[in-house]
Amino acid sequence: MGLRCGIVGLPNVGKSTLFNALSNAKAESANYPFCTIEPNVGVITVPDERLQILEALVNPKRVLPTIIEFVDIAGLVKGASKGEGLGNKFLANIREVDAIIHVVRCFDDPNIVHVAGGVDPVFDKDVIDTELQIKDLESVDKKLAKAERSAKSGDAQAKKEVVALQRFKEALEAGQNARAVSATPEELEAVADLQLLTIKPVIYVANVDEASITTSNAHTAALQAHVAQEGAEVVLVSAAIESQIAEMEDPEEKEMFLAEYGLTESGLNRLIRASYSLLNLITYFTAGVQEVRAWTIHKGDKAPAAAGVIHSDFEKGFIRAEVIKLADYQEYKTEVKIKEAGKMAVEGKEYVVQDGDIMHFRFNV
């Protein structure tokens, strides 16, 4: 499964700079709004040191990590829900992503203009939220009107939809995001076809200056306090630092550079980890002489579903899964010795795959 995250925010908050640093896709970055007219898509590999461990043990012909697609969606402005700026097109782009990376400016720089005239991360965050909420409310209202007509004719399913839709309508009218509604599975099903913008999970990226990357600042403190009730994560990233890291090819040079700022890893790694956690994702591996490969699945997925990520036939004809733990692979070095030590588990259809499992599937179709 591919993970697709949309990077949103007001113009000139550092979205495209961050996108370039993360993906090296070289989206145009300029000191004026709407320099990104089409959504730029960058595909990046997910760093995972377990792949390097397996590569050293197996010595495969190739190693394939998992990937994340980052979509740089052009800057939204107040009124985007009504078509201001290039609003309608950009809002449509957001519907296509799995999660939202909301970049908020948390640095002062008189040389970089701000569309609202001053740096205020809380205001910026609320502008984006409001525009997305207005668009969602339009979608809910349209479906609600149709459901109410059907309900009046005695349609039992329509009556249930009306109740669910009214819950989301009330929340949106109160200035809340759809994800704030404690909805039942049935209620979520009632709005599933609407692809609500504010129901998507979100990570807030506080784009800070280099001096604030480890110490934070007043802007980030205000943002963290403002989103605390959402339970959302705020990741501190300096797009300027990430841009410099992206140009470095020597791992040791990167490590030394990060150490100068008191960092042990890049903002990219922290953002990827936060994205996986947000979407409840884990990784399992397949390992053989042809390739060592990482696969992304949802936490809680059982073995047949995990097999289906490789190919649908694997899931349809699933017989069993042979599972090795990485620690055992490191201790015994080869599959033969792992089997001899009784450390290869044979699991059936009810096995819940664990993060880091090394799996081989047996199937028949």
User: Are 111 and 231 contained in the same domain?
Assistant: yes
Q: Is 22 exposed, middle or buried (0-12, 13-18, 19+ CB in 10 A)?
A: buried
Find how far residue 330's CA is from the centre of its chain. Answer: 31
User: Are 232 and 355 contained in the same domain?
Assistant: no
DSSP for 317-330? Answer: TEEEEEEE-HHHHH
Contacts of 272 (CB under 8 A, 6+ apart): 46, 47, 68
User: Are 207 and 273 contained in the same domain?
Assistant: yes
Q: How far from 187 is each of 3, 104, 159, 169, 240, CA to CA, in Å?
A: 25, 31, 12, 12, 43
User: What is the rounded CA–CA span in Å between residue 236 and residue 261?
Assistant: 13
Q: Domain end: 181, 198, 215, which one?
A: 198
Does residue 310 lie within any of the structural domains?
A: yes
Q: Which pTM was predicted?
A: 0.84
Low-confidence ranges of the chain (pLDDT < 70): 1-2, 24-39, 74-91, 113-117
Does residue 268 lie within any of the structural domains?
A: yes
- Ligand-binding annotation for 12, yes or no, is yes
Helical packing angle, 15-23 and 267-278, nearest 10°: 90
Q: How does strand 318-324 pair with strand 358-363?
A: antiparallel
- Ligand-binding annotation for 15, yes or no, is yes
User: Are 247 and 312 contained in the same domain?
Assistant: no
User: Are 358 and 256 contained in the same domain?
Assistant: no
Identify the CATH number of the domain in which residue 25 sits.
3.40.50.300
User: What is the rounded CA–CA span in Å between residue 109 and residue 14?
Assistant: 12
Contacts of 305 (CB under 8 A, 6+ apart): 297, 298, 315
User: Are 216 and 81 contained in the same domain?
Assistant: yes
User: Are 108 and 229 contained in the same domain?
Assistant: yes
Does residue 99 lie within any of the structural domains?
A: yes
Helix (H, G, I), strand (E, B) or coil at 223: helix
Does residue 80 lie within any of the structural domains?
A: yes
User: What is the rounded CA–CA span in Å between residue 223 and residue 352?
Assistant: 38
User: Are 237 and 346 contained in the same domain?
Assistant: no
- Structural domain that includes position 188: 129-198
pLDDT tens for residues 70-90?
A: 888 765 556 544 554 444 566
- Ligand-binding annotation for 97, yes or no, is no
- Ligand-binding annotation for 14, yes or no, is yes
pLDDT tens for residues 330-353?
A: 999 999 999 999 999 999 999 999
Does residue 52 lie within any of the structural domains?
A: no
Core vs surface per residue 229-263: b (16+ CB within 10 A) or e:
eeebbbbbbbbbbbbebbeeeeeeebeebbeeeeb
- Ligand-binding annotation for 17, yes or no, is yes
- pLDDT value at residue 18: 85
- Ligand-binding annotation for 216, yes or no, is no
Does residue 289 lie within any of the structural domains?
A: no
Helix (H, G, I), strand (E, B) or coil at 341: coil
- pLDDT value at residue 95: 84
Q: How many domains does the chain have?
A: 3
Identify the CATH number of the domain in which residue 346 sits.
3.10.20.30
